[in-house]
Structure 1
Amino acid sequence: MGFPKDRRRLVVAVAALVAVAAIAATVHRVLAPAEVSTVGRGGYPAAARPAPGVIGRLPVAPLIVDARLRVYAAHRQVYADRPVDRKYRTTPYWSYRRWPAQLSGVVASGTTVVSRWSDGRVVALDARDGRVLWRADGPVPAGTGPTARRTGAATVWDPRGFYLANGAGGRTVLVVTGDVQARGWELTDGRELWRAELPGACRTDVGTTASGQLIGVDACAGPAAVEFRDAATGAVRGRWRPPGSPDDLVVTPIGCRTGRSDCPALRTAGPGDAGGRGWLLDAAAPVAAPALDPAGATLAGEQAIAVVDGVVIARSARSGAELWRVDDLGPVRVIAVQPGRVHLLTEANALVTLDPVTGAQRSRFSLNVGSDGTGWAPGAVSAVDGYVAVERLREPVDPDGDDQRYFFTSEAVILAAT
């Protein structure tokens, strides 16, 4: 004896509705926007003091934070491990993940780590435990800039449109820009300081100055000019064109504290690096610094460092007077600077660190780990808190190759203390 026909239809209809509801709930759980914050357990590590030399190799690029942690970027996650001098990457100390947004940039100052996401969301984390400090909605990232490969170096070492700057009273300002808008926040508490509309793709960002200004290149109303905007208020303080510069101006920040933030100088040139000129940025208007004119020249404190015909030469950035030279290293290139250190890479991939004031050698060692050897080409580089991290690329370098062809090994980043 079965159910009456109408009753069977009702049961089938109810079962179908239950199934649809269950599927909808599952889809919502899987696809709905979400964030997962896993805070750190255990004590915040002390600052390490490793001896000069190679520490180890890593599969992803580390952002050294507070000389204690290594912070990494994944597709939808920012996370940290400890201690900073561990040979290999370890289980995350803390982690912050969002879905479905993608991570587009990470910057850090002191014990604050700030992440930027593809939907414009900005999230500040406490580096000591990964706890969320504040969140804000900002401009969606512009579609320009380097594409992040599997190491994530472009995300943590060179995030475009995502900068730190000095504000009044020693405070730090976070500046975030997109194609059509820029905003500034107080780093400590996420208080919005300003917002400004931008003209679009005819204007691009370069970085921030050590004196607290956002540098842009604006070609919207004629020949390209350098725009300086107060990072604490958003007000445009001036526009400047180098004398005799071409209409198509290429501007490169020099000597930045980290990434493209807190840069004390810049270099202007035409297409193909024609007519390059160096400029100091600590006055009301840029001041010519011929010692920074050569391609590859950089600034370490008051010293302009350049390699000329295989000789490392330091000059006063202001007067041009030669301060010291080192001519016994063979073919070298300057790969990074940080306070009190100039880092050079020899033809044999030895890392040489000099004192920028005296030229004295602080350390020298081969950038080799395990049985990897030194038959690689350097890629992106980061130098902070006495550490240097270098991407190792397979020779000959193929910029269009996939990651397996492009990188030297699966653990492509070598980390060293200097």
Structure 2
Amino acid sequence: MGFPTGRRRVVTALAAVLAVGVAAAIVYRVLAPAEVSTVARGAYPAAASPPVGVIGRLPVAPLLVDGRLRVYAGTRQVYADQPVDGKHRVTPFWSYRRWPAKLVGVLASGATLVSRWSDGTVVALDARTGRVAWRADGPEPGPVPKPRRTYASTVWDPAGLHVTRTADGRAVLVAAGERQVGGYALADGRQLWRVDVPEGCRSDVGTTATGELIGVDACAMPTTVEFRDAATGAVRAHWLPPGGGRGLAVTPLGCADGHSECRGLRTDGKGDDPGQGWLVGAGEPVAAPALNGADAQLAGERVVGSTGGVLTGRSARTGEELWRRADLGPVRIIATQPGRVHLLTERNDLVTLDPSTGAERSRFPMDIGRDGIAWVPGRAYAADGYLALERVREDATTDSDDQAYFLMAEPVLLAAT
């Protein structure tokens, strides 16, 4: 004996409503904004002292934090593993995820790990535990090119994310978007300032070691280099370098990490202009001819450059040659860090020199196992005495997909120098 027709319709309607409600609940749980923080269960690891040489092979690019952790990026995740000198990537030490926003940049300063997301949110983590230290509403970033599978651009060159220090030693985080730029106290995320900027005609380059944000302002002719106080957001100066104007490009040099706390820059104009080097500080940029040309890099107070198979070290301020090495053959300068300049030879040997004297600190093949040396260098990163390097196939182009671009599934080598 079944239900009467009227009751059957009521039951059917209730069942349909219940099904819709359950489906809605499931959709909400899956698609609703969410944050998942998995903190560290173990103690903060000690700094390692690995032997000189290649120590690891990784599928993704590591950001080294405090000489103790390796931090990695994913589409919607930032996570760390340890030990810092592990041969392979291992189970995360801690992990932080957000949904539906995407991760667009990661920056480390001491034990503070700052992540920037596609909705503009800035989240700082205590790298020692993975716990959220603070959150801030930052300017929404502009379009960011999709990173390759190593996420090297996300962790080694974070778009629109820089740190610097004021004259009194306070650390300031600067987040730049297409329409706004903001400054935040790195210690607690407190917003110091936020300003609107013209869209489409201005770009940020990095920060100086003396507390300023460097930008390129093409909103009015001629194009100028803008220096903005990172503590207040006020523009201190618009500077027009010789030969500047439309088409002016600015490359930061001698940066502590990524494009943060830079001590120099190179300006490039139109055509065959080889570029002009400058030292930047509290006043107007000072010409540094030793930095002219793309083959010269700033390492502390020294300019290291290679010409015709001869490597030289010069005073950044006077241009005086202080040392030269003609015994290395053709080399490529791939990275610098305090007290070290890293070179790659034609046979893919990694040579590390003291930039002050030219003395060799280490030399070894950038190889592990039986991987071989039939590759060309991609992005590189150096910190805490380590160097990480992408290996790219010799026939790869910028249009190649990741399978054809990288040498293998684990294309990043980590070396102790």
Per the normalisation by structure 1, the TM-score is 0.98
Return the alpha-carbon distance in structure 2 between the equivalents of residues 137 and 59 of structure 1: 32
1:402 paired to 2:370 = no
1:16 paired to 2:16 = yes
The aligned residue for residue 361 of structure 1 is 360
The aligned residue for residue 129 of structure 2 is 129
2:146 is paired with a residue whose SS is: coil
Decide whether aligned partners of structure 1 residues 272 and 165 sit closer, same or farther in structure 2, where only a CA change above 3 A counts.
farther
The aligned residue for residue 379 of structure 1 is 378
Return the alpha-carbon distance in structure 1 between the equivalents of residues 241 and 291 of structure 2: 14
Q: 1:32 is matched by which residue type in structure 2? A: A
Q: Is the 8 A contact 1:165 1:213 kept in 2?
A: yes
Return the alpha-carbon distance in structure 2 between the equivalents of residues 178 and 227 of structure 1: 16
1:160 paired to 2:159 = yes
Deviation at 1:246, TM superposition (A): 4.1
Deviation at 1:244, TM superposition (A): 2.7
- RMSD of Structure 2 on Structure 1 (CA): 1.0
Return the alpha-carbon distance in structure 2 between the equivalents of residues 267 and 101 of structure 1: 35
Measured against aligned partners, the alpha-carbon deviations of 1:114-147 in whole angstroms (never above 9, x if no partner) come to 1000111110000001000011111111115x53
How many positions carry a matched residue from both structures? 417
Measured against aligned partners, the alpha-carbon deviations of 1:44-100 in whole angstroms (never above 9, x if no partner) come to 000111121001110000000000000000000000000100000010000000111
Within 5 A, what are the aligned runs for 1:105-184? Answer: 105-144=105-144, 146-184=145-183
The aligned residue for residue 90 of structure 2 is 90
The aligned residue for residue 334 of structure 1 is 333
Ranges of 4+ aligned residues in structure 1 off by more than 4 Å: none
Deviation at 1:14, TM superposition (A): 0.6
The aligned residue for residue 75 of structure 2 is 75
Decide whether aligned partners of structure 1 residues 16 and 289 sit closer, same or farther in structure 2, where only a CA change above 3 A counts.
same
The aligned residue for residue 253 of structure 2 is 254
1:95 is paired with a residue whose SS is: strand
Measured against aligned partners, the alpha-carbon deviations of 1:208-258 in whole angstroms (never above 9, x if no partner) come to 111111000000011210000011111101010112324210100011111
The aligned residue for residue 391 of structure 2 is 392
Q: 1:180 is matched by which residue type in structure 2? A: R
Deviation at 1:3, TM superposition (A): 1.3
The aligned residue for residue 39 of structure 1 is 39
Identity %: 65
Return the alpha-carbon distance in structure 2 between the equivalents of residues 260 and 274 of structure 1: 23
Q: Is the 8 A contact 2:224 2:245 kept in 1?
A: no
Q: Is the 8 A contact 1:265 1:279 kept in 2?
A: yes
The aligned residue for residue 280 of structure 1 is 279
List alignment gaps of at least 5 residues for structure 1.
none
Q: Which stretch of structure 1 is more off in the superposition, 160-169 or 209-218?
A: 160-169
Measured against aligned partners, the alpha-carbon deviations of 1:300-354 in whole angstroms (never above 9, x if no partner) come to 1111110011111111111111000011011101111100001000011100000
Decide whether aligned partners of structure 1 residues 257 and 268 sit closer, same or farther in structure 2, where only a CA change above 3 A counts.
same
Decide whether aligned partners of structure 1 residues 147 and 223 sit closer, same or farther in structure 2, where only a CA change above 3 A counts.
farther
Measured against aligned partners, the alpha-carbon deviations of 1:159-189 in whole angstroms (never above 9, x if no partner) come to 1211111124212111001001001110111
Decide whether aligned partners of structure 1 residues 271 and 89 sit closer, same or farther in structure 2, where only a CA change above 3 A counts.
farther
Q: Which stretch of structure 1 is more off in the superposition, 161-170 or 202-211?
A: 161-170
Within 5 A, what are the aligned runs for 1:283-322? Answer: 283-322=282-321
Q: Is the 8 A contact 2:224 2:244 kept in 1?
A: no
Q: Is the 8 A contact 1:168 1:232 kept in 2?
A: no
Q: 1:363 is matched by which residue type in structure 2? A: S
Q: 1:159 is matched by which residue type in structure 2? A: P
Per the normalisation by structure 2, the TM-score is 0.98
The aligned residue for residue 203 of structure 2 is 204
Q: Is the 8 A contact 1:94 1:129 kept in 2?
A: yes
List alignment gaps of at least 5 residues for structure 2.
none
